[in-house]
Every structure is written in C-alpha cells, then in structure tokens.
Chains A and B, each alone.
Chain A
Amino acid sequence: ETGVTQTPRHLVMGMTNKKSLKCEQHLGHNAMYWYKQSAKKPLELMFVYNFKEQTENNSVPSRFSPECPNSSHLFLHLHTLQPEDSALYLCASSPSWGGPEGGGYTFGSGTRLTVV
C-alpha cells in the first residue's frame, strides 16, 4: 500500500453509463491529482486540487468531472464516455502543489477503465 487508495481497481462501463472513481490518501498531503495513462502515451495530467481548490484543468472534456470534498478524498465522475477514454486512471498526492515544498508524488495503483 502506498498510502493512496483507489477504487475500483477495474471498471467496465457502457458509453451511456455514469460511474465514479474514488481516491483516498492517508498521508496528510494537501495536493491531489488525476492522471490518465494510456498505452504508449506519457502520463497526462487531468486535474490538480490544492487545499481542496481546483487549480488546474488540463483541457479535459466535460464528460470527466472531478470533485474534491476535502484534502483526503478525490473523485472523478464519468458520464457518456467514449471508447478512446479507456485507460489507467491514476490518482496522486503530494505535500503541496509545486515549488520547493511540493515534494514527490505518491501514486495510487490506479483504476483500469474499459469503455465498451
């Protein structure tokens, strides 16, 4: 266990479904992130939350909707996804966002999403 827990580990959903991914961290970190990892592509930053406030939306389509109710929990709500959205979705946390105090990221094990 890394201290960042993601559920579910695997998810298969139809294009008309609505589902949510959950991320929880027990490290006392103040910044949380969603990354997308597709085959043969670099890790793509999707969203950044710092002290519960969204500080970065990396031009992500509106069918992905993040929610950060507190510094320990992060959700990614999914609706009307496309097959090309199939990927590994990784949650990460760090002591804070950017700068010398930012620190290294701790990643969760990810949710393997398949859109059919």
Chain B
Amino acid sequence: QQPVQSPQAVILREGEDAVINCSSSKALYSVHWYRQKHGEAPVFLMILLKGGEQKGHEKISASFNEKKQQSSLYLTASQLSYSGTYFCGTEGRAAGNKLTFGGGTRVLVKP
C-alpha cells in the first residue's frame, strides 16, 4: 500500500521554508526521499532507518516518526535548485520488503 504525501504541490519564494509529509498505514522500517526534475532521473536525497531519526542534505532535512508511521521533509531557506517533484518511498517492517513510493509533491521555487 503506497504512502500518502501532502501537499500535492507547493509554490515558494526563494528563501522560504516548506514541509512535505509522508504517511503510511503500515509499520515502517525505513523511509527514502528522492527529488526528480523534469525530464531527469529521480535523485536519492536521504534514507531514514530509525524512529525519530533526522538526517540532512544541504539545507534539506528530514525526520522519521516510527510511532506515527510518518516522515517529514524540511526545505529550509529554499533555493531555485530545489524545484522539482519530491517522492517518499517506504519499506515495511520486514527486512527486504519492497520500496513503495508516494504520489509525489511538486515544488516550485520562484525568484
């Protein structure tokens, strides 16, 4: 069952912050985050393996709340290069379970 991402789209001015949420109805082992620009391959941003874990990639960070089965991606002081579609991917509690992706959140950062 695929995770649910919200919002579906967000428009930001350069320098503004945004939060993207990813929720699952099943117990999670890990959460992946990817960004895909138009016409390009999805690019891996980070993976979160433990409940409550937070990781960062430049000024993009994420948290994983294992109890709530959800993850949030934080875009801080957004740059034009942050524009793209962000996908979360979730793995179930059983090791080796397949990675299931959410529907994506389209982010547009304007000057």
Contacts and interface: CB of A to CB of B under 8 A. Distances in A.
Interface size bracket, A side: 20 to 34
Contact of A105 (B32, B49, B97): B32
Contact of B97 (A42, A98, A106): A98
B102 A42 contact: yes
Interface of A: 2, 4, 41-43, 45, 48, 55-56, 58, 90, 97-100, 102-110
Interface residues of B, number: 26
Nearest to A43: B101
B97 A104 contact: no
A102 B81 CA distance: 28
Given A43-B87, A98-B95, A109 B40 contact: yes
Contacts, number: 61
A56 B40 CA distance: 26
Interface in B28-55: 29-30, 32, 34, 40-44, 46-47, 49
B67 interface: no
A105 to B, nearest CB: 6
B104 A110 contact: no
B99 interface: yes
